[in-house]
Homo-oligomer: A and B are copies of this chain.
Amino acid sequence: MSGLKIALAQLNFTIGDFESNTAKMADVLFQAKQDNVDLVVFSELAVCGYMPDDLLDYPSFVEKCEHALEAVARACDGIAAIIGGVIRNPGKGRLLQNAACFMYNGKIQHTIAKTLLPTYDVFNEHRYFQPETNAQVIEYKGVTIGIAICEDLWDVYNDFEYPVSPGQALKDLGADLIINPSASPFHIGKQSQRNRVFGGQAARFDLPVLYVNQVGVHTELLFDGSSRAVNGNGEVVIQAPSFEETVVYAEFANGKFSVGNSVPLDTDDTAQLYKALVFGIRDYFQKMGFTQALLGSSGGIDSAVVQALASAALGGENVHPVLMPSMYSSDHSVSDAETLSKNLGNEAITLPIKNIYDQYLETLSPVFEGKPFNLAEENLQARSRAVLLMAISNKMGYILLNTSNKSELSVGYSTLYGDLCGALSVIGDVYKNQVYALARYINRNGEIIPRNIIEKAPSAELRPGQKDSDSLPDYDVLDELLKHYIEERKGIEELITMGYETAVVEKVVGLVNGSEYKRYQAPPILRVSAKAFGKGRLMPLVAKYRSR
């Protein structure tokens, strides 16, 4: 068995941007050849970006994918590459397969298709692909290479047991190492999950594992890279950084990787969360061609944290907070928001909503007359603000960031077409207590978010003296309960058995189920947990359910 110099190409691809994706690959191949690399490994579906979803239903999209693969293959002259792409299924079943193409001598020499097609949470690969049933290995420069695409190595780390193990099949065919091109989205806790998976599988098969992941925002999904090489003893010997495009070289000889470039990954959840969200905003804007962000700055903790994250991502001068006080806004809300903007270098705009609100009430008087103040008037305030924000967005080309957190999205304490507006929800997968942790993290080297914003009791300020705690349990209890219900799928009876008060459980679960209709129309949410709202949690609206 000989040695190989292998490059881990951890790149940021744009879905459907074949030209720029293949140009990136060609650049890496060119440099790698200069550096005497034998093999460059790119991530899953690298050529088209993961995941194109129903663009795959367009035959013309698949053709472009094929042409792009052929074009990159021509650049593989004197160097080999493994490149993820879509291929046509040669057999019966779905028309496509999710494959890794092994390229050498200017041609695609082998295509290895994926066996285990994740179809749960945010994944729906069975929608497009036929699973592979035959395993094969590749002989290259004296090394027997096994390729297991992403999920193919996760056969023992799921909540059900896959009937087959692609890794075992490669081991049985005599593989010297397993290469795992991936598109593995980030969430809090994913790094330790990956340690378990790659360490565990390497040890199980007594084979080194090389995992190469893409980087970048793909609508809701944040891909973090964090590529790595693990030896057969389970030891991580090479670790690429998270949320960074990079190419790392690895030396493989005598059946193992030598210790190489490694960066320590953040182990603190809040530090990871901060990094993920800042990267998320920046890459979303970059890929969509946006530079300027807009948000409503209420003087509350949620908008303060989003404002700080956006300023870190885009630069303070590109973030435009709008203060829209009403008659129910406290004085400190306005002054806190002003201080925050100053601290972040944002130029704030102040537009009071009182006149607009009054005009609405006047126009609505034929309908509202004689009826008591209720939710309608509260929502009117939130929606008056949303219309102002969207007007500025339309006039100035600024992109509206949504500032709702996961706790309030869960229980429906946001106004549809009001504070639920926005092109991107930054903290829609971040529970209220995590928002506080982020605020403290942002202030770790000095006060950026005014202390008063962090310390005061949370309030929507939509009627006099309103507090979140008037109608909701404390966030300590609420967040925990929501996590059990949403992320761990506990039913009402289980929650009660766990010790939560029956009335609280029934209220909270009822609120979560009853506000599906709002989330149906919510903006895309940057996903940072294992169970985010959005494409990973599909719930019927027309249903009667309590999930007991």
Contacts and interface: CB of A to CB of B under 8 A. Distances in A.
Interface string A485-527: 0000111111000000000000000000000010011111000
B376 A364 contact: no
Nearest to A53: B538
20 contacts: A17-B545, A20-B544, A55-B539, A55-B543, A59-B489, A60-B547, A60-B548, A93-B160, A126-B126, A218-B540, A349-B366, A351-B366, A356-B360, A359-B359, A360-B387, A364-B388, A380-B387, A383-B387, A520-B524, A521-B521
Q: Which of A49, A127, A541 has the most CB of B within 10 A?
A: A541
Interface of A: 14-17, 20, 49, 51-55, 57-61, 64, 91-95, 117, 119-120, 124, 126-127, 159-163, 217-219, 284, 287-288, 349, 351-353, 355-356, 359-360, 362-364, 366-368, 371, 374-376, 379-380, 383-384, 386-388, 390-392, 394-396, 416-417, 421, 423, 489-494, 517, 520-524, 535, 537-548
B540 A491 contact: no
Nearest to A545: B16
Contact of A16 (B57, B92, B538, B543): B543
A363 B353 CA distance: 8
A217 B540 CA distance: 11
Nearest to A394: B376
Contacts of A55: 539-540, 543, 545, 547
Nearest to A89: B160
Given A376-B394, A383-B386, 11 more contacts: A16-B546, A55-B543, A55-B547, A61-B491, A119-B127, A120-B127, A124-B124, A124-B126, A367-B391, A367-B395, A368-B391
A546 to B, nearest CB: 8
B59 A161 contact: no
Given A53-B540, A55-B545, A391 B417 contact: no
Nearest to A20: B544
A380 B217 CA distance: 31
Contacts of A395: 364, 367-368, 371, 374, 376
A219 B541 contact: yes
Given A64-B548, A92-B162, A376-B394, A52 B543 contact: yes
A199 to B, nearest CB: 24
Contacts of A379: 390-391, 394
B16 A61 contact: no
B540 A15 contact: yes
A349 B367 CA distance: 8
A99 to B, nearest CB: 17
A163 B91 contact: yes
A16 to B, nearest CB: 4
Contacts of A539: 53-55
| Closest A-B pairs by Cβ, 7 of them | A60-B491, A16-B545, A126-B126, A376-B394, A15-B543, A376-B395, A17-B544
A215 to B, nearest CB: 13
Given A15-B545, A61-B547, A386-B417, A376 B391 contact: yes
Contacts of A535: 538
A434 B466 CA distance: 49
Contacts of A520: 523-524
Contact of A95 (B160, B522, B547): B160
Question: What copy number does this chain have within its complex?
Answer: 2
A543 B49 contact: yes
Contacts of A352: 363
A16 B544 contact: yes
Contacts of A163: 91-93
B493 A60 contact: yes
A383 B390 contact: yes
Q: Which of A55, A396, A546 has the most CB of B within 10 A?
A: A55
Nearest to A96: B160
Contacts of A17: 543-545
Contacts of A544: 14-17, 20, 287
Q: Which of A119, A540, A544 has the most CB of B within 10 A?
A: A540
A237 to B, nearest CB: 33
Contacts of A58: 489, 491, 547
A353 B364 CA distance: 10
A368 B351 CA distance: 12
A61 B545 contact: yes
A54 B363 contact: no
A341 to B, nearest CB: 16
A92 to B, nearest CB: 4
Nearest to A361: B391
B351 A364 contact: yes
B219 A540 contact: yes
Q: Which of A127, A288, A362 has the most CB of B within 10 A?
A: A127
A96 B53 CA distance: 25
A269 to B, nearest CB: 24
A352 B366 CA distance: 12
Contacts of A53: 538-540
A483 to B, nearest CB: 15
Nearest to A286: B542
